[in-house]
Amino acid sequence: MGLLFVQGTSKPETETIHPAVAPEMPANVKAVVEKKCYGCHNAESKNEKGKAKLDWDAFEATKKSKQLATMGKINETLAKGEMPPAKFLENRPEGKLSAEELATLMDWSAGKKKSKE
Ligand code: HEC
């Protein structure tokens, strides 16, 4: 519809025609997210704050450029050890990420491909 004119780009603006949905999240990443993150971060979540900050349903459907920005945020948040929230973990220690799960999410959100496992 010509709402967006980007000047000076060398590549044709294909995203508006065919949204570049990022490649499927790797299965191992998805498994961790579903187990440890999804409950608070999804479109139906009652956790309004969590949902507002991150909605995995929307994430999967959004454009790659947006996903990359979100992944950066996720990486930052995890590096600081802020997720899952400490308060939540007080009552649900099993919700904590194992070292391996954390590494999986860190590698993925940093854009590192890890196809094994
Ligand atoms: C118990 C519910 C809960 C779980 C589980 C949870 N989150 Fe969150 N998350 C929240 C809430 C609430 C916020 C908003 C925090 C705030 O604004 O202070 C949030 C915010 C975030 C943000 C945005 C931070 C920012 O500063 O913008 C990211 C990224 C995030 N979570 C990632 C994750 C990941 C990755 C996991 C799984 C490892 C996870 N969350 C698990 C509740 C949760």
Read off the pLDDT of residues 58-86 as tens digits, 9 standing for 90 and up: 998 888 899 999 999 999 999 999 999 99
Task: Find the domain containing 95 and state its range.
Answer: 27-109
Say how many Å lie between the CA of residue 44 and the centre of ligand 1. Answer: 15
Using CA atoms, how far apart are residues 115 and 50, in angstroms rounded to an integer? 29
Q: Is residue 13 part of a domain?
A: no
* Confidence bin at 117 (pLDDT 50/70/90): very low
Q: Is residue 22 part of a domain?
A: no
Mean pLDDT taken over the chain = 84
pLDDT number for residue 68 = 92
* Confidence bin at 8 (pLDDT 50/70/90): low
Q: Is residue 86 part of a domain?
A: yes
Of 25, 41, 44, the residue with max ligand 1 atoms within 8 A of its CB, to mutate for a pocket test, comes to 41
Q: Is residue 10 part of a domain?
A: no
Q: Is residue 95 part of a domain?
A: yes
The conformation of residue 3, written as its DSSP 8-state character, comes to: -
Q: pTM of the full predicted structure?
A: 0.82
Say how many Å lie between the CA of residue 37 and the centre of ligand 1. Answer: 7
Q: Is residue 1 part of a domain?
A: no
Assign 3-class secondary structure to 23-87.
Answer: CCCCHHHHHHHHHHCCCCCCCCCCCHHHHHHCCHHHHHHCEHHHHHHHHHHHHHHHHCCCCCCHH
Q: Is residue 69 part of a domain?
A: yes
Domain count, the chain: 1
